[in-house]
Amino acid sequence: MVEKNNLINNKQYGETPQPVSHTAFCLEDYMPEAKAIIVEKLAEYRGDIFLAEALEKKMSDVIYMNATKEQETLWWLLFDKYIWSKLVDGKEKNIARLVRLQNTKKGGGGFGDAEIARAKEYPIDELIEFRNKNARCPFHNDSHASLYYYQKNNNAYCFGACGRSFDSIDIYQMLNGVDFISAVKALQ
């Protein structure tokens, strides 16, 4: 079983490490110079944030040494409107987007249709214990076995409260509380 993705927040730049994209799209395939542009833009945005933080610290020192309480509020409003907003607004979002693009890999980003199909072939009866192709549905309070396993198609259908069918990926996601990417990787 694969561990959940470790998505620890990077406080310095407001970004969260992203899992490698599972799409067939890779920016480098269409625009080979993209890698250099992404690195350049990341440096620019991070530089703007660093500059804004340095200015904020300097401004803080100046305000606290020279301004009255009434002036302090005015100076911070002006700083937010004319300096912080120009240097920082939207940059954290752009950094996160660029990091996601940077993490896409050539040739499908780590896995594609073949890996998804292989994950769907993972036997559902290894995830849920069935007795004569029936089981209590683990996704709602079930007093009787309402989940039926279709071994030929490797699908399960809940005839109870869920009223829907499940494949291996759906079941793994719901049982383990993970996202689609983590489920596909775990079921390989």
For 69-122, how does the pLDDT look when each residue is reduced to its tens digit (9 = 90+)? 888 888 888 888 888 888 888 888 888 888 877 766 554 445 677 888 889 999
Dihedral class, residue 111 (left if φ above 0, else alpha if ψ from -120 to 50, else beta)? beta
Helices (H) and strands (E) in the chain, counts: 8, 4
Q: Give the pLDDT band of residue 24 (cuts 50, 70, 90).
A: very low
Task: Return all residues near 152 (Cβ < 8 A) that are at least 6 apart.
Answer: none
113-186 folds as DNA Primase; Chain A (3.90.580)
H helices of the chain, in order, are: 27-30, 34-66, 69-79, 85-87, 91-102, 113-120, 168-176, 180-186
Q: Is the pLDDT of residue 21 over 60?
A: no
| pLDDT value of residue 29 | 64
Cα–Cα distance measured from residue 92 to residue 83, given in angstroms and rounded to the nearest whole number: 16
How big, in percent rounded to 5, are the helix, strand and coil portions of the chain? 50, 10, 40
Structure tokens at 145: 């076995």
Cα–Cα distance measured from residue 163 to residue 167, given in angstroms and rounded to the nearest whole number: 14
Q: pLDDT exceeding 70 applies to what percent of the chain?
A: 79
Domain ranges of the chain: 1-110, 113-186
Lowest mean pLDDT among 6-10, 165-169, 176-180: 6-10
